Copies of this chain bind each other. A is one copy, B any other.
Amino acid sequence: MAKSITISDYLINKLYEAGVRHVFGIPGDFVLNFFKKLEESKLKLVNVCDEQGAGYAADAYARVNGLGVVCVTYCVGGLKVANTTAQAYAEESPVVVISGAPGIREREKNPLLHHKVKDFDTQKKIFEQLTVASTVIDDPQTAFEEIDRVLHAVMQHKRPGYIEIPRDMVLEKGISRHRSHVTQVQVDRDALQEAIEESTAMINAAKKPVVIAGVEIQRFGLHDLLLKFIEKTKIPAASTLLGKSVISERHPSFIGVYEGAIGRQDVLQRVESADCLILLGALLTDIDLGLFTARLNQKITIYAASEKVSIRYHQYDGVDLKSFMQALVNADIHLHTNEKPYHAQVTGTFVPKRNTKITVKRLFEKLNTVITDDTVVIADVGDALFGAADLCIHSKTEFLSPAYYASLGFSVPASIGVQMANPALRPLVIVGDGAFQMTGMELTTVVRYKLNPIIVLLNNNGYGTERPILDGSFNDIHSWNYSRIPEISGSGYGFVVETEEEFDDAITKACRQKDSFNIIEVKLDNYDFSPALIRMTSCMAKQVRK
């Protein structure tokens, strides 16, 4: 029987065992004693400006590290991360939200304690809507089991969980009992065998099969299986936008990001002319399906994801993504050699044209030349994302973006989470002015922790994605002098550029200046959009005007 320890120590140890090394958050009186425990622990606390920033940073950390933690106070902290937790849920990012709360003994007679909304369980009820598992640690007898239950669910589903610790429970000793066995999902071997036999037959009968790899490859750590499958069979592979970079985009079997009619034509043609579609770990979101312009014929589709495995029009229960992919790798699938290898088309050179205003298109052409093996591209929502779809990412998991939930303001705080998770990576943040104004001042946190992202700020004076859908003064933004933020933060390098030469020069300097962040404000025409954005928004406009 394990020696009895405090509930907070138990939770901290469990997080450490699961690979967590950093906790993002802001203290408050109901969580102060837990912060003190964190400070004294092996975990490193990362203080940010606003809880929203902590939520985004923890989400990015989770995507790179495999598990992230945000720690906040009751309601005034917790409800500020409702949105970032929703994003982690929608995009399958395993984030644990730890919230302080009034002590159980303080709650008697239901007093109006500060930070309370309706009832003491208001915040818990809200997080039930945003997580796969949630608990209030209100009893030392069950505390350890409850912590195990939530952490297990987070790891299993790669979605957020919620642990609320009333402050009088932090130093209580939990009771170590024979633990209830955490339910392990049992694979139905017969179903798996049938699914694999059927898949093998379909793939072997096909002349032009194609793989579409999605974000769950990254979330569930299945890169190696995917690579084995592709290299063994030589079947070409596309990725979704949310799944961008689940395989190195310089791999000879990689054909590009498939986004229906919104993406590149050559990718569309190859995918939509396939006679067998193998979708692995792909969420079928509207953005990944090019706002439903994707033409994926279900009659020829093998679909395997964490929550569903189906072939053509029938489903297999009891088959999980990992088992399916393992079995697929070992199946007797023919070599498909009737196709020439694809080549990353893009790492070319960029020669700036003299006295020429920079455009979105040319900006991304330049960015493609500066990406190295240690670059992680973090794209915020908008043209920062759509334009970035065709950047050539070298390795796995080095492209991060909220490409489904699409919440603005992710990228700058995400760069903090990424560099904490892997200091060897240097973030290249691509962000629009609208998104930047929401969370960009977390650059002061970047300075506090001596990180060094490069921020490319696409300033088109407004919510550019919305202008082609429906324009009005509400899409205008009051411009900041973004390049002067280093004067506020006390460190960093600022640039303002308008021409190709200026941008070329600034990004070159930024790559060299590694002792702090660099922010490059790129002044764009208000109506300069990437071709992808134009295709995207013309679909969106039809919805709005319906």
- What is the interface of chain A, defined by CB distance below 8 A to chain B? 27-29, 32-33, 35-36, 38-39, 45, 47, 49-52, 75-76, 79-80, 82-83, 86-87, 89-90, 103, 105-106, 111-118, 122, 125-126, 129-130, 167-168, 283-287, 292, 404-409, 437-439, 441, 444-445, 447-448, 463, 465-466, 469-470, 472-482, 484-485, 487-490, 540, 543-546
Chain B contacts of A466 at CB under 8 A?
27-29, 32
* Contact call B407/A76, Cβ cutoff below 8 A: yes
Chain B contacts of A478 at CB under 8 A?
47, 444-445, 447-448
* Contact call A405/B76, Cβ cutoff below 8 A: yes
Q: Given A103-B546, A117-B86 in contact, is the A476-B47 Cβ separation under 8 Å?
A: yes
4 cross-chain pairs, A with B, having the tightest CB-CB distances, nearest first: A79-B83, A448-B478, A76-B407, A112-B285
- Measured CB to CB, the nearest residue on chain B to A481 is B488
Chain B contacts of A480 at CB under 8 A?
441, 444, 488-490
Roughly how many angstroms separate A536 CA and B283 CA in the complex, as a whole number? Answer: 51
* Contact call B76/A36, Cβ cutoff below 8 A: no
Picked from B47, B463, B545, the residue with its CB within 8 Å of the CB of A477 is B47
Residue of A49, A125, A404, A409 contacting most chain B CB atoms (<10 Å)? A49
* Contact call B90/A83, Cβ cutoff below 8 A: no
Roughly how many angstroms separate A477 CA and B116 CA in the complex, as a whole number? Answer: 26
- Offer 13 A-B interface pairs, CB within 8 angstroms, sorted by A: A32-B544, A36-B470, A39-B473, A49-B437, A50-B52, A75-B86, A82-B126, A103-B543, A106-B543, A112-B285, A113-B285, A167-B544, A441-B441
Q: Given A283-B112, A488-B480 in contact, is the A474-B39 Cβ separation under 8 Å?
A: yes
* Contact call A117/B103, Cβ cutoff below 8 A: no
Chain B contacts of A479 at CB under 8 A?
490
Picked from B106, B116, B292, B469, the residue with its CB within 8 Å of the CB of A32 is B469
Q: Given A32-B466, A114-B404 in contact, is the A83-B76 Cβ separation under 8 Å?
A: yes
Roughly how many angstroms separate A238 CA and B419 CA in the complex, as a whole number? Answer: 53
Residue of A103, A437, A487 contacting most chain B CB atoms (<10 Å)? A437
- Measured CB to CB, the nearest residue on chain B to A470 is B32
Roughly how many angstroms separate A480 CA and B407 CA in the complex, as a whole number? Answer: 26
Chain B contacts of A87 at CB under 8 A?
76
Roughly how many angstroms separate A167 CA and B546 CA in the complex, as a whole number? Answer: 9
Picked from B113, B117, B482, B485, the residue with its CB within 8 Å of the CB of A286 is B113
* Contact call A80/B103, Cβ cutoff below 8 A: no
* Contact call A50/B126, Cβ cutoff below 8 A: no
Output the least CB separation between A98 and chain B (Å): 14
Q: Given A129-B122, A478-B447, A488-B480 in contact, is the A79-B75 Cβ separation under 8 Å?
A: no
* Contact call B45/A473, Cβ cutoff below 8 A: yes
Picked from B116, B125, B130, B285, the residue with its CB within 8 Å of the CB of A114 is B285
* Contact call A438/B50, Cβ cutoff below 8 A: yes
Roughly how many angstroms separate A334 CA and B455 CA in the complex, as a whole number? Answer: 71
Q: Given A474-B35, A481-B490 in contact, is the A286-B114 Cβ separation under 8 Å?
A: yes
Roughly how many angstroms separate A82 CA and B484 CA in the complex, as a whole number? Answer: 32
Picked from B50, B444, B477, the residue with its CB within 8 Å of the CB of A409 is B50
Chain B contacts of A52 at CB under 8 A?
50, 52, 80
Picked from B50, B283, B285, the residue with its CB within 8 Å of the CB of A437 is B50
- Measured CB to CB, the nearest residue on chain B to A49 is B437
* Contact call B50/A111, Cβ cutoff below 8 A: no
Chain B contacts of A439 at CB under 8 A?
50
Q: Given A286-B113, A437-B444, A488-B480 in contact, is the A544-B472 Cβ separation under 8 Å?
A: no
Residue of A76, A292, A445 contacting most chain B CB atoms (<10 Å)? A76
* Contact call A286/B112, Cβ cutoff below 8 A: yes
Q: Given A111-B286, A470-B32 in contact, is the A130-B117 Cβ separation under 8 Å?
A: yes
Roughly how many angstroms separate A11 CA and B451 CA in the complex, as a whole number? Answer: 48
Chain B contacts of A544 at CB under 8 A?
29, 32-33, 167
Chain B contacts of A115 at CB under 8 A?
405-407
